[in-house]
Amino acid sequence: MIILAILAFWALIMIIGTIKFKDSESVEVAPFQLIWRTKRFLNFIYKVGREKKNFWKIYGDVGIVVGFIGMGVVLYYLTRQAYKILHPQGPVVPGAQLVIPGVTIPLTYGLIALAVLLIVHELSHGLVAVAEGIPLKSVGLVLFFIIPGAFVEPDEDAFKKAPLRSRLRVLGAGSFANIIVALIALLIINGIGLAFEPAGVEVQGVVKGSPAEGILHPGDVIVGIDGKNFTTIEEFIRIMNETRPNQTITVTVLKNGKIETLKITLAEHPEKPGKGFIGIYPIQHLISKIGFTRELMTLFFTFYWIYVLNIGIGLMNLLPLYPLDGGRMLMDTLTEKFPRVGKPIGYSIVALSLVLLIINILPSIRGLTG
């Protein structure tokens, strides 16, 4: 059903594009690709980038270091998760998730977080490019199939002719900005958290094929297991660590304001052999100590999703896979430092990265398509 809706949407976009934007320079429509370009905001980027040139150069250097470290972290994480997916010890948990507001992430929070992510990412690219003397042609938005994006378009010829260090500064700047925003959001989350007290464990999602599927649902709040009441996620984890596969537990749940008692037979934990697995994505359920619970929770989850998407997508963008920034950083470095063997080594790493990404994302796609 979701796939049909997406195909119908793109059919409509193609019809509108063919009729209204056939000769447009600002709007480009192609199968599963929609691009909007503008020269607005370029003056602002030039002004800030040139006035603080030295700052952006130092910023870019730090971004290079963070970029290559992040590349290693992402490769390690995807390799580790791919092994678990290929050798499952229980329900398969995807190592990477498609980001679709309203489907895989909350609609409003997701759109706000994506907007913040895209703006800071592309603005960072643009500011460092200007500081490096690389002209900008346009800024804009892009939609590729179901993946929204934004871009600052540098003069490609000037970019290719720039020194390697300048190119790496520009490429690493975007994800570095996302990581900084994620850390700021994390500080704000912790600050807001001081106004709350724990009141159980909320089910954020349910792992497909797990014991909890069909019994627990997003929004349910677990407040006890086998007669042991708790308020924090740490207590929940401690109790779950004491369980075993095939053990039937009694779960006390707050559903729609009413307390219910449910029985669930556990599977084996995919990461902890011999431990029970219920199959939920838990988050700490909180209530405000000072009132304004709804308003504070809205603020809390806004910054929570800003954190999650900026750290997640910011790091995934460093995956050595062309045309991601990580892939371009890797290929530019290898081909310049090792002219004879750089390309084959780079292509081998890119191919490995593609295989890892496919393995990690397939469980997520299966979950969407049923």
Q: What is the DSSP letter of 200?
A: E
Mean pLDDT over all residues of the chain? Answer: 91
Select the more confidently predicted residue: 128 or 365: 128
User: Which residues, 6 or more positions from 35, have their beta carbon under 8 angstroms from its beta carbon?
Assistant: 27, 28, 29, 140, 141, 142
Question: What pLDDT shows up at residue 271?
Answer: 85
Can you tell me the distance from the alpha carbon of 189 to that of 307, in angstroms, rounded to the nearest whole number? 9
Q: Are 34 and 145 in contact (CB under 8 A)?
A: no
The domains of the chain, with CATH numbers, are 25-190+307-369 (no CATH), 196-289 (2.30.42.10)
Residue 326 has pLDDT above 70, yes or no: yes
Its pTM surpasses 0.85: no
pLDDT reported for residue 370: 59
User: 224 forms bridges with which residues in the sheet?
Assistant: 229, 252
CA distance 139 to 35: 10
Q: Is the pLDDT of residue 126 over 90?
A: yes
Cα separation, 237 vs 232, in Å, equals 9
Using CA atoms, how far apart are residues 364 and 370, in angstroms rounded to an integer? Answer: 10
> Helices 342-369 and 325-337, interaxial angle, to 10°?
170
Rounded Cα distance between 326 and 328, Å, is: 5
Q: What is the DSSP string of 208-268?
A: TTSTTBTTB-TT-EEEEETTEE--SHHHHHHHHHT--TT-EEEEEEEETTEEEEEEEE-EE
| Angle in degrees, 0-180, between the axes of helices 53-86 and 342-369, rounded to the nearest 10 | 60
Site of tokens 């920034």 = 325
Band of pLDDT at residue 1, cut at 50, 70 and 90: low
